[in-house]
Structure 1
Amino acid sequence: MTQIANKESKTLDIDLIADGKKKLNDQFSQVIANAKQKSLEGLRVVEERICEPYRGHSFELKKGQIIRYELIEGPQIIDTVYRVKSNPLGEYADSYGTSSFSGLVFGEDDSFWSNTPYLRPVATIVRDTVNLDKIKECYGPKAVHSFVYPSGRCNAGLYGRYYEDGYYNNCDLNLTQAFVDLFGEEMASQMETTQAFMHFQPMAYDKFPTNYSLFPSKGIFKKGDYVDVLVHDDMYVAFSPCPLGDQNNFNDEGPEEWVCYPIKVSILEGADGPLETVEIRNSNAPSAIEWLREGRKGMKHGKVGTNGF
């Protein structure tokens, strides 16, 4: 957001890319509204699992199916990763693409966008039963529970720094294990450390320089709270129950005293099968390596300026 003072000394808030974001997202707003209505009317259960903490879990979803993450025993943070089934090494839900066209924090109707050069919505939150007003009442107007870390997820290195012991369970380990289970060690080792899309973690990007605050979940969530995410392509989804668990005693005790809970995950679809999804072509863009190999063929650019001050 850029602030500009006009001649009357009033401050104007000008978002230079708001119109572009709105135009892109308006293309599929009706599809999202239809999926949300189907979710409210009731969906057919295709698969259901109780997922235990301290390990990763993986699922295969068909285009138009919904994955539901549901709290059943207690508050439990989850880190989720989305990879396109037809190109699991190359295309995945990405923090930069998502922040460019959606945001870094999410609620209903917000989409997760994939990385360059594909840059398209690959998943959308269509239902979230958590009381967001309560989160904001407790922790301020910027507080949410669904967001994306700009890069990565909790890992052995962080524990090594905080606690001088890197051998604690962590989301990087769990998500890697989930993809090893899916693809085998050789293919999983080729995967970039993709960003984790988070749910059930009270937080806010409320610091300057920009950073986040984490808050306790006590009294925030209720049994049966869930988040429904619609996928817009055949997708591999992996998630890790974060070892921070309910985030209620993070500062008081070490990691061995943190409490984690199982979570129920359901794969859902409409009575007649998968739901209608967003149809949007890949962006008309080359990969950087391919373009360099072609000698930057057809490259366009702006002007070189002088005396700009």
Structure 2
Amino acid sequence: MKPNPITDAPEDADQRKAIKPVICYPTETLPRPDLSAYRALRNDLELIETVVIPPRDAATWEVPAGHFCRLVCPEGPQVGDLNLHNLHNINERFYSGKTRALNGTHVGLGDQLYSNFPYLRPIATITHDTLDWYGFDAFGGSVHDVIGTRCDPYTHNLLSHGGQYHHCCHSNLTRALAKQTGLSPELVEPHVHDVLNLFMCTGFTRDTGQYFMKASPVRPGDYLEFFAEIDLLGNMSACPGGDCSSEHSSDTAACYPLTVEIYKPQGLPEGWQAPQVNSYDRSHGL
């Protein structure tokens, strides 16, 4: 809990608070995909690969540019922590902060996922979401957030005064990426990054501004689907918190597998090209 204010409110406090907000990044000029063209491809898809992510563990997979990837809840309510990398250069990876700034705290149908600096380009476009009916609930919660980080052993160690836990999402993602790349955990860990919290229902409390989670509304058969704008390496952890109704980094929560399905369309949208790396000249005024 935050402490009560120790500073007396000024006489014009109400006036200051009443100032209307301004959107930081107006997106009217942001290039947008033709979602209908993407969705038209979904009528004729060929399933080419399925990957099962075990409970309390992670797995990697590849998605060629121009293919669709479905992240599926096959059994019981389960959230997943998703990382995305450029398949050919893991230094380029999903940037949750800028994705949040351009789309909002939670992502869904039609939103694009952006990569980090200096690349900053859309690397995936969300083409279907069976939980789009949820919207925002009375608590301010919604699904598929890009505000949380990932459960990790360092915060667990800090909060439990020295506790060691190795099956949190950060460690799961580190092990999976190490296996995929052949790099040691020490070398690969800096490439593990803030996630898209798949199926997780989260928000901020209205009184204290604290990040909260609640039981995910996901049910067997639900999925989030995206179109790969570049060749991608996916890496996802089936969170040890299960549906995150009570805790994460847990050995007691009910946990279930997640499934990844890769689909090849029979064609591509007319004129489609993979987005180019950001054209800023990187001189930074020097």
The TM-score, its normalising length taken from structure 1, stands at: 0.77
- Measured in 2, the distance between the counterparts of 1:97 and 1:36 equals 25
Within 5 Å, which residues of 2 pair with 1:268-307?
268-272=263-267, 279-286=274-281, 291=283, 298-299=285-286
Which 4+ residue blocks in structure 1 deviate beyond 6 angstroms? Answer: 273-276
One-letter code aligned to 1:23: T
1:168 Cα shift? 4.4
- Measured in 2, the distance between the counterparts of 1:209 and 1:116 equals 32
Match of 1:55 in 2: 57
One-letter code aligned to 1:102: N
1:156–1:12 CA distance, 2 compared to 1 (3 A): closer
Aligned-residue identity in percent: 22
Gaps of 5+ in 2: 1-14
Conserved in 2, the CA contact under 8 Å of 1:132 and 1:144? no
One-letter code aligned to 2:136: K
Q: Which moved more, 1:274-283 or 1:174-183?
A: 274-283
Q: Of 78, 82, 87, which residue of structure 1 is paired with 2:84?
A: 82
- Measured in 1, the distance between the counterparts of 2:145 and 2:221 equals 20
Match of 1:213 in 2: 212
One-letter code aligned to 1:22: E
Pick the structure with more helix per residue.
Answer: 1
Within 5 Å, which residues of 2 pair with 1:55-204?
55-88=57-90, 90-130=91-131, 132-133=133-134, 136-137=136-137, 139-140=138-139, 142-149=140-147, 152-164=149-161, 165-186=163-184, 189-190=187-188, 191-204=190-203
Gaps of 5+ in 1: 300-309
Residue aligned with 1:174, SS: helix
1:46-100 superposed Cα distances (whole Å, 9 cap, x missing partner): 1013321122100011001111111111011100001112221x21111232133
Within 5 Å, which residues of 2 pair with 1:30-41?
30=34, 32-39=35-42, 41=43
Conserved in 1, the CA contact under 8 Å of 2:92 and 2:119? yes
For this pair of structures, how many residues does the alignment match?
271
Q: Which moved more, 1:72-81 or 1:181-190?
A: 181-190
- Measured in 2, the distance between the counterparts of 1:155 and 1:286 equals 36
One-letter code aligned to 1:156: P
1:247 Cα shift? 2.0
- Measured in 1, the distance between the counterparts of 2:206 and 2:191 equals 28
Within 5 Å, which residues of 2 pair with 1:255-270?
255-270=250-265
Conserved in 1, the CA contact under 8 Å of 2:174 and 2:185? no
The TM-score, its normalising length taken from structure 2, stands at: 0.83
Conserved in 2, the CA contact under 8 Å of 1:269 and 1:275? no
- Measured in 2, the distance between the counterparts of 1:243 and 1:16 equals 35
- Measured in 2, the distance between the counterparts of 1:249 and 1:189 equals 33
1:257–1:108 CA distance, 2 compared to 1 (3 A): same
Within 5 Å, which residues of 2 pair with 1:223-238?
223-238=220-235
Residue aligned with 1:14, SS: coil
